[in-house]
Structure 1
């Protein structure tokens, strides 16, 4: 009985902090009542995990899994549970929910919005429904107040964005380090045309377009040409792509009459990293054309695979300089705040934060995580909510079995700033997302003459 009361008490203490964060992330009129109901249900099921009857324990575990993603922020950290069997059950629950959430996260975000709204209202609805961060600070107040008619019914994110750039003189770019899609006005003098005028293919959370298509004589051959296509693949800002892999044999090009174009390097396999904050990636394929059998149009289809760090969760340390040694947990990763130090300069200040991480389990996910842990995003925040993203460097400071340490250096902060919160954004699972690519009726340009 004492053990149960102690567990529940510690759980309630952790729940108070997590509930505030969960409520602020998803505003809704009934959210407090809904959160309270789910919290009570989760607490009851956790108590049942320690029941004497096996059937009761098994049913409680299944019900926790069925509650899904909202449960993750309500589960107590393992170190707060004294019963080993309950800890193991909660670890199984957490792992199953995370895997399901990760699978769901690599599906296309969809928007439902119909009617006449201001541009700002539309952008706010898109951000809220998809969890993709949108930045419209470069647009004027009059532009944001402009009313537009929209009819989005389960419309994928990238189709919505492309439709917006057609209806309005807007263009966008992805700010990878901040995971934002930034909008700006497209002036008449801008040479860039609306993106939907490009051949484009949508698949899940990916947008693939033709960046460049070129034909030129094949060196060493009098009757063959080299068809070279450069593709641009874009990923929804909420996701963190790691690398793209594809094989030449799995990307096929054929003429209108079904003539198959042989790949220039049929045995080639490629693995392209996206790099720090990468959300856009260009990749190229080449095929051989016979000059005498040159089709007017071709179609290209095939399969690729993108490795993603899925389901990124924020881990926050408030009251930064008085929280050293504190441990926070989201998903299957625990983060300890080892040290925070401020260094004041004449007109600015630098702030160093050192953390230590550990996962509940090792394996390929953790091994992959180690190779790019220093790329994980982090930011500081003051009491007014202003964020200070990392504008310095980060480095691995220690490694041991199942643990890794990272040192973040925030440089050039305003001297008047008083950031007292550190947030580390941690992916909980690494997963491979298949991509199906398909383009129809691509017109072939005339071949460029080889240089003399």
Structure 2
């Protein structure tokens, strides 16, 4: 076994690994990946996987000091746990709560159970009766808001938070008006028909959909395949789409909803409703956020690379420029899935900061883009630090994977004007 890797080895018996994983020390299990027997090594690998995605941040980064077999096992563990994270991120959180409570207490309970946050309007607290058992987030939220007479500020609210507001007089209830697709809620909210008396070929009907997602998420992109649209009226007559191609819905960081207009040909005069409207969304969601830490002599660092899952962060150079230090780095993805397209700004919202010798966090004073390609983006961060950077660490946080999800939706019984 490699001495550089095995400093103090505490072996965990197979019985402990299998029967009491909650009592195990992650560091001990990592050491046991290099144990003498195959049985012990296999047991340690299984136990680390059983501990779940929280282990990911504690796994060492493979390097030349780690034995080849240990590196292979760590890679397998990461792969399994990252798939679990990807699955959990795009699965709706559920709510269990029964009784009569003040609205604020109900929302607090939902926040605790789902990680989705709310902002309650002043004077909006009231009592609500809830009977929720493993109820998906959006269904639970709609039921509660209907009781409280509240609605959601869909656009222009607070980042990663649902801002609640009083429901206008005459507004319909929310529950049952949308299709619930996992973490997404898709609701038709407007229909507009236009007849051109000079040119009938310009006649058009536009159906606006509001697509919301659980605010704990921050989708990077959402594309609608316009050719996937299928619509029929109440008699089964097909209503053709008036546009092809793909539409980018223009998601910005912090949003929790977006609208899209679907252009359709004007239906026949006898059409009273769109009985069914189908379409397809291609969505890119960031996976687990990883922390990349660069320490040592930052001022002499050149091209230092750290890799986590599918992301690599390269610290190219740190140099003094006038009164500030420039930290030049690059973020590269094995598969970016177009996450770095020029109009996407999410990467510039990633936290980048220094930690001083006293443990104080030093935020950056600004940044500039230094380059961009399909799989890579470069950024130069500015830091105002007196003296040198001896004893400082540079920390960069970013999602380490991108999760692509295709949503086939179907909304029904849309009343026509």
Over 3 Å counting, the alpha-carbon distance change for 1:437 and 1:376 in structure 2 is: same
- Kept in 2, the 8 Å contact 1:213–1:230? The answer is yes
Give the counterpart of 2:160 among 170, 173, 180.
Answer: 180
1:72-117 deviation per Cα after TM superposition (whole angstroms, max 9, x unaligned) = 1221233495323312321232122112211221111211122233
Note if contact 1:313-1:331 (Cα within 8 Å) is conserved in structure 2: no
Tell me, yes or no, if the aligned pair for 2:152 and 2:163 is still in contact at 8 Å: yes
Task: State the partner residue of 1:375.
Answer: 348
| Native 8 Å contact 1:245 1:269 kept in 2 | yes
Q: What TM-score, normalized to structure 1? A: 0.68
Contact 2:277/2:411, CA 8 A, preserved across alignment: yes
Q: 5 Å matches for 1:17-166?
A: 38=22, 40-54=24-38, 56-79=40-63, 82-132=66-116, 134-136=117-119, 139-140=121-122, 146-166=126-146
Deviates more, 1:122-131 or 1:50-59: 50-59
Cα separation, 1, equivalents of 2:39 and 2:194: 70
Shift of 1:285: 1.6
- Is contact 2:94–2:136 with CA below 8 Å preserved after alignment? yes
Unmatched runs of 5 consecutive residues or more in structure 2: 11-19, 356-360, 385-391
SS at match of 1:365: coil
> Is the CA contact 2:98–2:132 (under 8 Å) kept in the aligned structure 1?
yes
Report what 1:435 is aligned to: 407
Question: Equivalents in 2 of 1:354, 1:85: separation in Å?
Answer: 35
Partners of 2:413 and 2:374 in 1: CA distance: 53
The within-5 A match list for 1:28-427 is 38=22, 40-54=24-38, 56-79=40-63, 82-132=66-116, 134-136=117-119, 139-140=121-122, 146-173=126-153, 179-186=159-166, 193=171, 196=174, 199-217=177-195, 225-265=203-243, 267-292=244-269, 294-313=270-289, 315=291, 333=311, 354=327, 356=329, 362-365=333-336, 368-369=339-340, 372=344, 374-378=347-351, 394-397=367-370, 405-408=378-381, 425-427=397-399
Greater mean deviation of Cα atoms: 251-260 or 272-281: 272-281
Q: Cα deviation per residue 1:338-382 (whole Å; 9 max; x = unaligned)?
A: 7699999xxxxxx988463556xx532387458656333338799
Q: Deviations over 1:314-348 (max 9, x none)?
A: 63879x9x99879988655465787699999xxxx
Whether contact under 8 Å (2:341, 2:374) holds in the other structure is: no
CA contact (8 A) 2:289 2:400 kept: yes
In structure 2, the residue corresponding to 1:45 is in which secondary structure?
A: helix
Quick check: 166-175 or 98-107, which moved more? 166-175
Distance of 2:99 and 2:65 partners within structure 1? 50
More helix by share: 1
Aligned CA-pair RMSD: 4.7
CA contact (8 A) 1:7 1:81 kept: no
SS at 2:235 equivalent = coil
- Identify if the C-alpha distance between structure 1 residues 245 and 119 changes in structure 2 by more than 3 Å, giving closer, same or farther: same
Number of equivalent positions: 390
Tell me if the contact between 1:332 and 1:428 (Cα under 8 Å) persists in the aligned partners: yes
TM-score by length of 2: 0.73
Give the whole-Å Cα distance in 1 for the aligned partners of 2:96 and 2:218: 24
For residues 368 and 43 of structure 2, the distance between their equivalents in structure 1, rounded to whole angstroms, comes to 45
Rounded to whole Å, the distance in 2 between the matches of 1:39 and 1:343 is: 53
2 CA distance for matches of 1:422 and 1:303? 45
CA spacing shift, 1:284–1:340, aligned 2, 3 Å? farther
Cα distance, 1:76–1:197 mapped onto 2, change above 3 Å:
closer
CA distance in 2, matches of 1:389, 1:185: 34
| Counterpart Cα distance in 2 of 1:91 and 1:393 | 36
Q: Aligned-pair distance for 1:226?
A: 2.3
Task: Tell me: CA distance 1:89–1:175, structure 2 relative to 1, closer, same or farther (3 Å).
Answer: farther
Decide whether aligned partners of structure 1 residues 399 and 220 sit closer, same or farther in structure 2, where only a CA change above 3 A counts.
closer
